[in-house]
Structure 1
């Protein structure tokens, strides 16, 4: 075990190595479980705000905190990799013939990039402290990255429930390393949302029943990515031209004015064809075309059917008669949700299906 005399030095060197590996933020928190956050999670699940994300409920006990998952853990290394946009995420709002894709999904799949860097940092740490045991996580395990990021001083969980950094705004991919080492912790970051309600009022579907609480069942990111089958009709018009995720609550956060796009990892530079894509091009995608276009992209995981379903809702909201032919061709699609979306879109375009 690293003694207290060298814990601070090792933590400092660790942060330098994290920066060298492409992390814009790095902090350390104790691994002890937090009963307050665990209680909030339990209430959120009890209210059903997780929707169909059964995996949130299935491992809720482990999700309560680091030591609930791994009792031997003593420290959490919280890390953030910047994907700060160089363009306005809301710029396409007034261009209904274009498809809006969340900023985070316009570049390479963050899972691969962040995990590779996490593993490299873990190897560096083991080389410095061979007695260390470690576990590496990036969005694929029951780990509460956002509250851990706040505990480690990276930022605070804003009223939109995402982490807000005073230096990187709302644009951080988060990862974590649990370790048996007792590293010198950083101070928890204070909440600096104040009286601001920009993220709450910006939400097109009123997905925030109150500040700091998200009802995923109403969230456009959930509806376009996680939700299977037809999207409830009450939300379809509010989707607008958003076909994968939603940046509205993040983009309006005033703290983003401090975000430095130069800190963005090169892997997350947007692909030119995904910055302002034409809806018509996406409506013509079959499964093979979808897989080829989105190889190496996080979008690939939702599959062609769900993706085209989303594009049809956007077509229905576009008032673009030029899309009618492409929409009509999808009425007989083998996927029921796609066919249903095509019929809805035609009704919105004033065409009888």
Structure 2
């Protein structure tokens, strides 16, 4: 198994990327890594090159670069070369913590989308924090497409089902549609159309509409939404979690000796809360709908997050989810064409 890595992508690259890859290398003995970037900078942090090949990339796509233009013009960048390695069959997956738009563009234009999927979507795994049979859930799209059509969201449900089955090991995942109410007639016209399509599909275990306030309570195994809403909800969840942890800490530190002693007694409890809300434990966002695993983690990721994301990529490759999804989409081409026609005629 080989993973191509954009070693220059991310706020703390290449140091944290290299250190994270070494942690992953020591954890997963069946993975070889191709690290693309400025070799002099990478080698400065590389302690052991066992199963790590460093590849020179003369250019770097910065966080502020215009994504499509950067991918097309910076052919020798670490991001483009890593994606090209997957396209050429030199690697099984592409990983980066860099420019999100450029990663999406590389996934689309270099690696290529699965035939039958109109717009790939970003899927991320989030925790369920209440007592529930579900430990986590997957949500997509969380930012690949700001303008999402009815057909796109229907296809996200199909792909989310495969991710939950193959990577999260959920036998018959429940699929929910993120909406502003649980009733079937809630939402705008597009959401009502998506609701009806999902409800009429016998291959999907559709649980109906779900509200954002119920997401972390385990409302569904797969939550489908448009990219604009999904990205806003994701950032709201992450921001709220960080704010709550800071609020608790600040109140304890500003409190009396009694509150500090109480906090000391509950240290393990607070630790468990922080651990449950730590999004870095759940890996990165997967670009669903392309021909090979393309995984993007937070730009601010440190070494442990990089290592966790590599574990996620290994699960995706081991599960053979993407080739199976490709076969499924191909075998359901007639059904998808009918769905397209029905949307156009409504």
The TM-score with structure 1 as length reference comes to 0.26
Of Structure 1 and Structure 2, which has the larger fraction of its residues in strand? Answer: 2
